[in-house]
């Protein structure tokens, strides 16, 4: 798959939670009048992002992640990133762009900071809730297992590399399993709310298929300073089926 198609495919799925204000209101779909409408015309219907549904209860990941952490993490932190992403996009030239295309074009300039932090926060948490769940754990199977073996030599090698990446994040950030442009799987980590899609901001680029939030807000209520225990517990709640779906895109 070409990189462009790759990004588009991911974007369509990401955009599943976008609210299009004119859809479902008995108004006809907007016709393609791109010949008549200059690009710089203000957007009348800005995309608004919504906090995605969690899909399981706050207590569903006990004892690995406690209910109170889930409630605050989802209801306050993720909701906050979502709200601030909408605010950051409002009136910007990126307002109706696909989020993954926005990520791919971000640089470290001041003007990109709010979208970088809050867009990353919105997207990364959406991915996180999707790739964990009750009845998780075990090991991947099928094509994903084969790719892990091919890229890392064995599942255990992958797991050790991932745990090392997560444990090695200094301060706040994420550990990732990502598929690079050549289709190879890589383990990497990013600071803050960056992710491997932000090609100009990371050394290891790719499409993340598994991510672990190692910000203290993700684990401190239960695990305190024992980040390593949280990282190990994460492996008991990975939803490998959903990781495999992301891998297959
Ligand atoms: Mn978080």
In percent, the amount of the chain with pLDDT more than 90 equals 81
CA of 60 from ligand 1 middle (Å) equals: 17
174, 190 contact by CB (below 8 A): yes
CA of 134 from ligand 1 middle (Å) equals: 19
CB within 8 Å of 45: residues ≥ 6 apart:
20, 21, 22, 30, 96
CA of 181 from ligand 1 middle (Å) equals: 27
pLDDT confidence band for 40 (50 / 70 / 90): low
What's the mean pLDDT in 111-132?
98
CA of 125 from ligand 1 middle (Å) equals: 6
Angstrom distance (rounded) from CA 240 to CA 248: 12
CA of 3 from ligand 1 middle (Å) equals: 28
175, 228 contact by CB (below 8 A): no
Name which of 249, 106, 131 is nearest 190 in CA terms.
106
CB within 8 Å of 40: residues ≥ 6 apart:
none
CA of 217 from ligand 1 middle (Å) equals: 6
What's the mean pLDDT in 18-24?
40
Angstrom distance (rounded) from CA 113 to CA 201: 12
CA of 215 from ligand 1 middle (Å) equals: 6
Position 7 scores a pLDDT of 41
Q: Which residues pair with 177 in a beta bridge?
A: 187, 210
Name which of 56, 224, 77 is nearest 131 in CA terms.
56
Whether the pLDDT of residue 14 is over 50: the answer is no
pLDDT confidence band for 207 (50 / 70 / 90): very high
CA of 77 from ligand 1 middle (Å) equals: 6
- The pTM of this model reads 0.83
CA of 122 from ligand 1 middle (Å) equals: 9
CA of 236 from ligand 1 middle (Å) equals: 18
Q: Could you report the per-residue pLDDT of 235-245, keeping only the tens digit for each?
A: 999 999 999 99
CA of 192 from ligand 1 middle (Å) equals: 9
Q: Could you report the per-residue pLDDT of 133-189, keeping only the tens digit for each?
A: 999 999 999 999 999 999 999 999 999 999 999 999 999 999 999 999 999 999 999
Angstrom distance (rounded) from CA 122 to CA 158: 26
198's tokens: 């932000």
CA of 78 from ligand 1 middle (Å) equals: 7
Burial classification of residue 18, based on how many CB atoms lie within 10 Å of its CB (0-12 exposed, 13-18 middle, 19 or more buried): middle
CA of 99 from ligand 1 middle (Å) equals: 19
pLDDT confidence band for 59 (50 / 70 / 90): very high
Angstrom distance (rounded) from CA 69 to CA 215: 12
Cα–Cα distances in angstroms (integers) from residue 236 to residues 64, 138, 163, 216, in the given order: 7, 7, 13, 19
CA of 121 from ligand 1 middle (Å) equals: 7
In the DSSP assignment, the letter for residue 98 is -
CA of 84 from ligand 1 middle (Å) equals: 14
Position 217 scores a pLDDT of 98
6's tokens: 């790759």
State which H helix or E strand residue 49 sits in: strand 48-49
pLDDT confidence band for 4 (50 / 70 / 90): very low
């Amino acid at each position: 798959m070409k990189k462009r198609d790759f990004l588009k495919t991911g974007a369509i799925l990401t955009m599943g939670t976008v609210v299009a204000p004119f859809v479902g209101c008995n108004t006809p779909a907007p016709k393609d009048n791109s010949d008549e409408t200059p690009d710089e015309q203000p957007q009348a219907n800005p995309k608004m992002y919504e906090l995605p549904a969690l899909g399981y209860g706050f207590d569903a990941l006990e004892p690995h992640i406690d209910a109170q952490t889930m409630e605050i993490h989802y209801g306050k932190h993720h909701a906050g990133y979502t709200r601030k992403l909408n605010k950051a996009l409002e009136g910007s030239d990126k307002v109706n762009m696909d989020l993954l295309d926005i990520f791919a074009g971000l640089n470290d300039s001041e003007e990109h900071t709010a979208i970088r932090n809050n867009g990353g926060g919105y997207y990364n948490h959406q991915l996180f809730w999707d790739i964990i769940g009750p009845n998780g754990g075990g090991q991947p199977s099928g094509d994903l297992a084969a790719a892990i073996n091919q890229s890392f030599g064995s599942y255990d090698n992958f797991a050790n590399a991932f745990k090392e990446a997560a444990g090695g994040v200094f301060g706040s950030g994420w550990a990732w399993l990502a598929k690079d442009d050549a289709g190879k799987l890589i383990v990497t980590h990013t600071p803050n709310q960056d992710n491997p899609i932000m090609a100009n901001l990371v050394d290891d680029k790719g499409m993340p298929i598994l991510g672990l939030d190692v910000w203290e807000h993700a684990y401190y209520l239960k695990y305190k300073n024992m980040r390593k225990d949280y990282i190990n517990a994460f492996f008991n709640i990975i939803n490998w089926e959903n990781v495999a779906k992301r891998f297959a895109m």
